[in-house]
Every structure is written in structure tokens, then in C-alpha cells.
Amino acid sequence: MKRNTPLVPLEKPYQKGFIRFFVVRDDVKRSKDGRFFEELLKKINTEMRSPTRKFLKKKRKRGKKIYVPREQRVANVYPREWNSPKSGLTKREKQYFAMKDNYCPVKKSYKVYYEFTEPWRFILRVRPDIITHYKPLQSDLEKEIDGTDSFLKRHKVQGIIHKNIYGRPDPWKNRYKRDRRKSLKAFHYNISATAVADRLEDTDLLKI
């Protein structure tokens, strides 16, 4: 419902820092493929915002905090987008990408993506970030959302919903979980039964 709330234009637009994005280089734009790269850039362009024109970030070096330039690149294309017809990449556009992988230490696996091979065709451009619209707060809607959140947090409602959607937590672990005491008893009973059987067998041999 919040997503569908229409934006309202401001009476007096104001500037909120700066925005940086890519544009096609002038020499590339004037070439026969200028239109082609303009359309391609629309699909992989990225934006970055900063309170100043310098686009800096803090970095600790030898115990001191310093400011270094923030790096910005065009967007990579991931397999789901690459193979989807909705991505809009044509066969010719895909020829300008190379498949690469990056190791993720958290998931302990490689992540495949497609990287644009000719980033020199684009340059960065900075312009003021002007705010012209705002999203109004709907008091009735906000109250309804707060009431719903409050209800979910009470009376174990969240746990009931989670159980109905995902089932009980880790049911397979409980299914195969072994009782250590029972396992030890079974081990001792097995040893005792084996010892008794051996003794009976020895007794029978002596009788023979």
C-alpha cells in the first residue's frame, strides 16, 4: 500500500547533494555505434549520491581515518537476468560482456556474473540532486500498519505464522537426534549379551 502512494510535487524544490552517473563519451556518441551504446548504457547504468562533488569515503590507514575516492562502475549482469527475456539484452549487446566468477567466503561458493568489457566507452558525469517530489504520510494507513505489527508481536502470533508457513524448526534434526544415554545402554546390553553367548558356547564345548 505504501508503494502505491502517489508522489506529490514540492512547491519549492531543493538540492540534496549531488548525483553521479555514466554517459556515453562524445566521440563514441558521434560514431556509427553511438545509438547502440546509448541504449546499452540505459540497461547497465548506475547512480551514486554524495553530499559533495568529491564523492569521497572514509578509510582507515595506519590507525588514521583518511578520505579516498569512491569507485563506481557500470552494473554487472547476473545469470538470472542474463537468461531472462525480460532483461532486454540483445545478442549483439551480450557480445560486449565476459563471464567471470567471484568467490564468496560466507557461502563458500563462486558467484558467476557477466562484466562489461569496454567501460572506456562511458564517462562519469555529476549534476545536482534536486528533490522535486515527496511521498506524503497517510496517518490512517500508518496507524493500521502499526496496529498490525503490534498484534503480530503479541500472543505468539509470529511463531504461529512461522510454523504454518515453514513448519517446525529443524524437524529432520529432531527425527534423527540420538539419546546419548539410550545409546550407551544399548551398547552395554549388546556387550553383555555377547559375553553371555560366548560363555554358553564355551560351556557347551566343555561338555562335549
Higher-confidence residue of 190 and 33: namely 33
Give the residue among 38, 71, 41 at the shortest CA–CA distance from 56: 71
pTM of the model: 0.62
**Does residue 196 share a domain with residue 116?**
no
Digit-coded pLDDT (tens) for 138-167:
665 666 777 777 776 665 666 777 666 666
The pLDDT confidence band at residue 50, using thresholds 50, 70 and 90, is very high
Q: Assess whether 102 and 59 both reside in one domain.
A: yes
Kindly state whether residues 144 and 130 are assigned to the same domain. no
* pLDDT winner (highest mean) among 15-24, 97-106, 162-171: 15-24
Residue 108 lies in a domain: yes
CA dist 9 and 173 (Å) reads 56
Distance between alpha carbon 124 and the CA centroid of its chain, in Å? 26
Does residue 3 fall inside a structural domain? no
**Nearest-CA neighbor of 135 among 4, 42, 33?**
4
For residue 40, count CB atoms less than 10 angstroms from its CB and return exposed for 0-12, middle for 13-18, buried for 19 or more. buried
Within this chain, do residues 124 and 38 fall inside the same structural domain, yes or no?
A: yes
> What is the mean predicted confidence (pLDDT) over 70-83?
94
pLDDT band at 206 (very low <50, low <70, confident <90, very high): very low
One-letter amino acid at 106 equals V
In the predicted model, is pLDDT for residue 80 greater than 70? Answer: yes
Q: Are residues 86 and 147 in the same domain?
A: no
Q: How many domains does the chain contain in total?
A: 2
The answer to whether residue 1 is domain-embedded is: no
One domain, residues 68 and 29: yes
Lowest mean pLDDT among 16-20, 68-72, 184-188: 184-188
pLDDT at 114: 96
Instruction: Evaluate whether residue 76 is within a structural domain.
Output: yes
Q: Which of 111, 134, 157 is the last residue of a domain?
A: 134
Structural domain for 169, as ranges:
139-207
